[in-house]
Amino acid sequence: MKIFDEISRREHEQVVFCSDQKVGLRAIIAVHNTTLGPALGGTRMWTYATEDDALQDVLRLSRAMTYKASIAGLNLGGGKAVIIGDAAKDKTEGLFRTYGRFVETLGGRFITSADVGTEVRDLEWIRMETRHVTGVSPALGGSGDPSIVTGFGVYMGMKACAHEAFGSDSLKGRKIAVQGAGKVATYLCKHLAEEGAELYVTDIDEEKAKTSAKRFSGRYVQPEKILELETDIVAPCALGGILNDETIPKLKCKIVAGGANNQLLDETRHSRMLAERNILYAPDYAINSGGLMSVGNELTGGGEQRALKQAEGIYDILLRIFATSKSEKIPTSAAANKLAEQRIQSLGRIKHIFSNGSNGAAHAHETSKRV
């Protein structure tokens, strides 16, 4: 891979490779854009097949975080990190504390939190070496598990999708296929079940999926069949790339709205494919931005209730995206990108005004000559 070409193509500011053989650490931190504020994004731990795969993943994910923060109205930039390793057997205190030291060297340009393969305990190890971490346990002054807010936000976004597609945001009696039975999917299913939706649940962990289906009075479906069900809504809540040339033609739903990141394998082509099939797509970084709202509130002193209130606004965010999509005659993913980029460009102009940093007073740039 031509690394600098990949970095430039997505307009990343900085990519850091972290290595310590003694603790088995191999990590990549990607800072995409800090126009709106410090880059905030989770640290993912995954058994990537190749180092190129890990780099591609962290570049895609960090770029999405920039757009997620912008569309959510947060004063944060976009970043992400990946640790190459097996989350089930490779975790140690030494590994995460060493990684925390690398995060500290960035001086606050990158702030991390939990992601796939990492959890609150891991963040507490990281926090021993850097203050630039969010999502730690409430006992340590943190906001706790952001999945609670993410799941609620996806639920609110799904209701906005129903309003757009069906003329009513009620999900009672709607057939909804949930792909994944992790934390976000579980919180989402809880809200859907309480409203009376008819749930179909799957996961590569069959036992976990069956437990979730039973808990929420749903039905277990084998992973390879979940996207082919005749349903109202499909909710991808596992790993990315699930919407592609092979799967999109099999969809028998009106809406795709879920909590997974990078659901479109190819953003441009596959968003168009969905639009051509009249399937309403909720851009993933918009509908799943509740988790970022949660950890972002930890930085500003807000609590879970404030984050949940912000997550309610995902309903209106999606309606704006849909309105832009219709008026501009572009796919919903392109509409979301346009709205996110407009905010970045607009607020980026503030950077042209000099602030002395001590009292917040702003001054126009000028050149003076003193004799």
Where among 94, 116, 140 does a domain terminate? 140
CATH number at residue 61: 3.40.50.10860
Mean pLDDT of 297-305: 79
What share of the chain has pLDDT > 90, as a percent? 80
User: Which residue type, as a one-letter code, is found at position 363?
Assistant: H
Determine the Cα–Cα distance for residues 248 and 227; give it in Å rounded to an integer.
9
Give the tokens for residue 82: 């990946």
| Residue 17: inside a domain | yes
CATH number at residue 243: 3.40.50.720
Q: Of how many residues is the chain composed?
A: 371
Give the tokens for residue 359: 């009292």
> In the chain, how many domains are there?
2
| Residue 239: inside a domain | yes
Same-domain status, 115 and 171 = no
Where among 105, 140, 175 does a domain terminate? 140
| Residue 356: inside a domain | no
Same-domain status, 8 and 120 = yes
For residue 31, the enclosing domain spans 3-140
| Residue 279: inside a domain | yes
Give the tokens for residue 126: 């990281």
Determine the pLDDT at residue 361: 37
> How do residues 203-220 score in pLDDT, each as one tens digit?
999 999 999 999 999 999
Give the tokens for residue 355: 């602030």
pLDDT at residue 13 is higher than 50: yes
* 48 phi, psi to nearest 5 deg: -70, 145
Same-domain status, 78 and 212 = no
| Residue 351: inside a domain | no
Determine the pLDDT at residue 354: 62
pLDDT at residue 369 is higher than 60: no
pTM: 0.85
Where among 140, 162, 195 does a domain terminate? 140
Residues designated catalytic: 80
Same-domain status, 113 and 165 = no
User: Which residue type, as a one-letter code, is found at position 276?
Assistant: E
* Residue 169: Cβ within 10 Å count: 15
| Residue 347: inside a domain | no
pLDDT at residue 365 is higher than 50: no
363 pLDDT band (50/70/90 cuts)?
A: very low
Same-domain status, 196 and 303 = yes
Same-domain status, 121 and 164 = no
Same-domain status, 217 and 311 = yes
Determine the pLDDT at residue 75: 93
Same-domain status, 207 and 83 = no
